[in-house]
Chain A
């Protein structure tokens, strides 16, 4: 019997660590150069925000009115009025965006919270554009879902969902959404890998019942299908069924 047959887990892990102990690590880059790159990242984010804010200042009233008007015209439900008094969110300087179908607001930590209202006709182009204003690359579709195989890593870091009614894959079925007429997700744009985007596919299951599938996609390689992902949800992503009083999908 070998002595290694009796190696403890700790010994094995130690040996694994030692296997890289001899890795000749070059001196780390100059911290100033790293910080300069970090500042460049910050500046790019700020430019995006500034550009969005400028655009917003120039045509916010018109575009919001148009978006709201369109949504109202297409949806039987009255669109909530935009909140002109809403202060810009501290995270981005952009005020919350409200339409009948969704609300998008930034948080102080740089994340953004998206709330989708069940039963409202989702203007996918508006949502995709508004997410971009918040620095979130996204592909928003209705009646179809876009995915990459394999999906980029990092979905769970980029998207946080709250509530016992949320069914996360691959954790299996969750509880039904008894009275949930909305879906809320918090998205961290910094956690979305470079070259990836958040795919959101919205499927209308009934008058006030919706299925939303989300996953990260590789922007250079993705395909879209009008067949909704099965009950297991999209690989590497999440499926949420919300609205109505029925049971969540199996």
Chain B
């Protein structure tokens, strides 16, 4: 029988990356997201008996990381009132060649309302179904579907003009 330490270590190794991507997509710049996710994993180990029985432990980590970041973001926004440029230029993410990221789409994700970002992140990075997302976020399944639908519509709009212009260039 595996020890709890081994079990947690395996969970940590397998979950670090998807959880970090989810938190980055929802809330933070990468260094800050890494801190939040690390803190969330530490709390997960601190309550491992409970977390290991959670229906979606990765979602527990992501939610805890996002909650951990709430105060930090609020403080930061108070201290740096001009920092809302993050909303249009996700610092630490869409750096172009270094990150190799699709900055346009990422910016579109970051422009989504908070709840839509959470739903998107839990769906695409943790591959959670609607029922699990509903339980995790404490909202109705229909509300999850609504947020998902609106988010997808917004992202689709973001993708469309890019392709049109590309085609027009040909």
**A39 in contact (CB, < 8 A):** yes
**A35 in contact (CB, < 8 A):** yes
- The residue in chain B whose Cβ has the minimal distance to the Cβ of A20 is B21
Type the 1/0 row for A107-130, where 1 means its CB is closer than 8 Å to any CB of B: 001100000000000000000000
Nearest CB in chain A: distance from B80 CB, A = 16
Type the 1/0 row for B45-61, where 1 means its CB is closer than 8 Å to any CB of A: 11110100000000000
Partner of A154, one of B70, B114, B162: B70
Asked if A20 and B101 make an inter-chain contact with CB atoms under 8 angstroms apart, the answer reads yes
Task: Please tell me the number of chain B residues within 8 Å of chain A, measured between CB atoms.
Answer: 62
Type the 1/0 row for B25-57, where 1 means its CB is closer than 8 Å to any CB of A: 100001000100011011111111010000000
Partner of B159, one of A7, A34, A42: A7
Nearest CB in chain B: distance from A148 CB, A = 9
What total count of A-B pairs have CB within 8 Å?
155
Partner of B124, one of A13, A37, A220: A13
Task: Answer whether A39 and B45 are a contact pair too, CB < 8 Å, given A16-B155, A17-B124.
Answer: yes
Type the 1/0 row for B109-136, where 1 means its CB is closer than 8 Å to any CB of A: 1000010000010011100000000000
Most chain A Cβ neighbours within 10 Å, of B42, B50, B63, B78: B42
Asked if B42 and A13 make an inter-chain contact with CB atoms under 8 angstroms apart, the answer reads no
Chain B residues with Cβ below 8 Å from A35 are: 5, 8-9, 42, 45
**A68 in contact (CB, < 8 A):** no
Asked if B101 and A25 make an inter-chain contact with CB atoms under 8 angstroms apart, the answer reads no
Task: Answer whether A190 and B70 are a contact pair too, CB < 8 Å, given A13-B120, A20-B101, A29-B38.
Answer: no
Partner of B167, one of A2, A16, A41, A42: A2
Between-chain CB contacts (< 8 Å), 7 pairs: A2-B163, A12-B155, A19-B105, A22-B101, A39-B45, A156-B139, A190-B43
User: Which residues of B come within 8 Å of A, CB atoms?
Assistant: 5, 8-9, 12-13, 16-17, 20-21, 24-25, 30, 34, 38-39, 41-48, 50, 63-64, 66-68, 70-71, 74-75, 78, 93, 98-102, 105-106, 109, 114, 120, 123-125, 137-139, 148-149, 152, 155-156, 159-160, 162-164, 167
User: Which residues of A come within 8 Å of B, CB atoms?
Assistant: 2-5, 7, 9, 12-20, 22-26, 28-29, 31, 34-35, 37-42, 45, 109-110, 152-154, 156-157, 190-191, 193-196, 218, 220-221
